[in-house]
A and B are shown apart, each in its own frame.
Chain A
Amino acid sequence: AATLASCAESERDGDGGSGGGDDGTFVFGAAGAPEMFDPYYATDGETFRITRQMFEGLLGIEPGSAEVVPELATEWTSDEEGTEWTFTLRDDVTFHDGEPFNAEAVCYNFERMFDQNDAGQVAGEYWGYVMGAYANDPENSLYQGCEATDEFEAVISISRPTSGFPTMLTLESLSMQSPKALEEGDANGIASEGEGFSFPAYADAPVGTGPFTFGEYDEANGSITLARNDDYWGDAAQVSEIVFRVIPDESTRRQELEAGSINGYDLPNPVDWAGLEEDGNSVEIRDPFNILYLGLNPEANPQLEDLRVRKAIYHALNREQLVQTQLPEGAAVATQFMPDTVSGYNTELEPYAYDPDEAKRLLAEAGAEGMTLNFAYPTEVSRPYMPDPQKIYEALRTDLEAVGIKVKVSTASWNGGYLDNVSGEPGKYDAYILGWTGDYDSAYNFIGTFFGNLKDNDFGTDVMPWGKQLADDLKAADAIVDEDERGAAWEEINRQIMEEYLPGLPISHSPPALVVGPGVDGVIPSPLTAEEFDTVTVGGE
């Protein structure tokens, strides 16, 4: 730790022996640079990790779980229909710029998110995803309006009841920001320029309510500094400063940690876990909140319309072996399209057995022996649910070939066409590897995303006889206001999906990990990979 201190801290501060307690700098190795700092427009985890320390939403998530807890709102209630939600706000919160946090501010924020220009509508990805539309198309928008009924009471109306609301308010993108700063920084002044968007000044100088305030972004050195918010309404953060250092190369991050010049980094390579632990670091394994699946597309290959063929493929896969040999410890074979932490998970479902003979039999029955699958996996990407897509593909391919299915491989890089080919209408691949990390605790966030949109989904369910039924069932379940009733509906749908429809093949859930160096305490791993660092302490042997 002595070396750590001397390297990680300012040399100008003299001796870096910040022995303990409530001071010090937490240096975190980031894999990529943040996009910018307005969480509303942000889309990637590297950005959210930083903004999360500075912003808070109306609702929060219990550290270490996916459970929704009060944050800036202390309580919320809805009317009968579930379309009018009243939020009681904390009265002791100010933004970093000294502006008061109140119902006006909340409504300002929602209106700001709702009212986007063309560019903003494309860039504000999460809003579009959860709310469906913007101010120029209010009919299709879930969000209908916000009213400050009292200084600390805001009412938000939505067009229809949905299980996603208000859980979706835990989304980092929907965090509360200072109205004054938004105004002054022309936060909505996003414009399309050439082939991208240019962001307004605000995106470089964000103002939230969280335990940390924005310090500076040293682009030349690739470091982002956040400072402790001493006026934080809750318990002040333990460290005085967080520095995110951009270190794109995995092995360099590890070497930096070993050299003590950073205190932690995300998603350490599972290969390194044991070694890291040996060296005195702690590898914090999160509960899996994701799903890896093999997508099947009957639009691209009509043979896949036959349920027997889909089942045959499922039986052909040795998922146990895959999980054991390819995925990190804590990974599990999936029985359905969502992890067990999500309410609506059907505990009664059993995994499809690895049974090549059965697979062959089913194939024969369906007259599809020797069928060819155009199988795709993405390159240049690593996600929590698939640390190495190529390895997973390898394993699946071997299994498929073992039952006589011919595999024709296609690849494309993640951004270089893979997603286009999967999501295009119709999709280009017969079978593809893809997955999903939940945004918040909601079954619809998983299966609704997959199958809820009949026309435009990756599984081509619109050509299946049951496709419409499934989509309708999902919408119906989503609209059930009563939680228990809704849970039961989800369970039933999950059973149907797995036993009767089998539109795709869920494979596994993997636990992503986070590693911190010796002397770092207080990191609470979050299944949503949404760690807040205010509890972190640095120092102490």
Chain B
Amino acid sequence: MLRFAVRRLLQMVGVLLVLSFLVFVWLRSLPGGPVSALLGERQTEARREALEQALGLDQPLPVQYLRFMQRAFRGDFGVSTQVLPGEDALDIFLTRLPATLELSFFALVIAIALGIPLGYLAARRKGTALDTTTVISSLVGVAVPVFFTAFLLKYFFAVEWNLLPVSGRQSIGLDATRVTGLFVLDGILTREWDAAWDALKHLVLPSVALATIPFAVVFRITRASVLDVLDEDYVRTAEAKGLTARVIRGRHVLRNAMLPVVTTVGLQVGALLSGAVLTETVFSWRGVGQALAEGFLQKDYPVLQVLIMAAAAIYVLVNLLVDITYALIDPRIRTR
């Protein structure tokens, strides 16, 4: 087990190293780039050259990469050129991370809390109206562009009915103590209940919007996997033992059906990160996704580089954790 983890961890480091090189070379081989980003409208050729020299961008690529790696090993990944000029790119990631974590966590909770029970029900009632409706609506949910969903959600819940805030993470003027950067948790930790409640209200719409895709996936995989398990001989054995429906559902069906769901949930972290780019943009959610979107548009390469690498690292790491969890909960792997 430990071996498995170490092995995967080493693999991960390798993958990330290669990725860092690819991203570095790729970013630098594109037009535009930091210089144009920094200069803006008032640029001239002379200023351009001066800047390139000042930044060492006139050096050959391998030299630049080596310098980058040297600095990277010291934890210095360069500073933002556009998103938050002058700010350490890694700091940007770190300050933005809690927001994205909070959002993704709630989205995942929603996706799981809805996806698994509905998936189970749909599988149990395969072919009925309930099944068809849920399947189709999950597909529709995936196909509706996030900004459209978000617009509707905001329009009705925030503007028309005034139930929830439109965007942002916290009401203006609310003087809340920050501990972890996860606002809801902070509110709870410091017992500033109004702050926690306020943060929670801000979370609802974006996390619902972000949850659509993971929900659909969790729902579908649960349904498929429950259908598979229902066909399994051991469920028939359990039935033959005369066990109660509850025991069969919980101990025999769901427990086994959850195994593939666990892996899927890990893979959903990728979807969450991708989705965060859109969701955070439309909800002015100051998270990693929004920084990514800004980085893309403003060609802030140092920030992009850090964020892409970090996203990859998180993704790979989470999946590593998921695999380990899986191995822990599946005795067939655990007891090898």
Interface of A toward B, CB cutoff 8 Å: 3, 7-13, 25, 27, 32-33, 35-36, 43-44, 118-119, 121-123, 125, 128-129, 190, 192-199, 203, 219-223, 241, 243, 245-249, 251-252, 255-256, 258-259, 261, 380, 412-413, 415-417, 419-421, 423-425, 436, 453, 456
Contacts and interface: CB of A to CB of B under 8 A. Distances in A.
Interface of B: 30-34, 36-48, 50-51, 54-57, 68, 71, 76-86, 88-89, 95, 98-99, 151, 154-155, 158-159, 162, 165-175, 178, 181, 183, 194, 198, 281-284, 286, 290, 293-294, 297-299, 301-302
6 contacts: A192-B54, A197-B86, A241-B173, A247-B167, A252-B167, A419-B39
A436 B281 CA distance: 28
B269 to A, nearest CB: 22
Q: Is the interface of A mostly helix, strand, loop or mixed?
A: mixed
A125 B42 CA distance: 8
Contacts of A251: 151, 282
Contact of B162 (A3, A122, A421): A3
Contacts of B82: 415
B80 to A, nearest CB: 6
A448 to B, nearest CB: 13
B208 to A, nearest CB: 16
B56 to A, nearest CB: 8
Contacts of A43: 40
Chain A CB within 10 Å, residue with most, of B33, B85, B99: B85
A194 B79 contact: yes
Given A35-B86, A36-B85, A243 B40 contact: no
B234 to A, nearest CB: 50
Contacts of A423: 43-45
A12 B174 contact: yes
A259 B77 CA distance: 40
B165 A255 contact: no
Chain A CB within 10 Å, residue with most, of B155, B168, B283, B302: B168
Contacts of A25: 172-173
Contacts of B302: 194-196
Nearest to B45: A425
B88 A261 contact: no
B41 A419 contact: yes
Contacts of A197: 38, 79, 85-86
Contacts of A255: 154-155, 158-159, 166-167
Contact of A9 (B38, B51, B55, B173): B173
Chain A CB within 10 Å, residue with most, of B41, B77, B82, B283: B41
A417 B36 contact: yes
Chain A CB within 10 Å, residue with most, of B80, B171, B302: B171
B171 A219 contact: no
> Closest 6 CB pairs between A and B?
A194-B78, A10-B173, A416-B32, A199-B86, A417-B31, A195-B34
A256 to B, nearest CB: 5
A197 B224 CA distance: 53
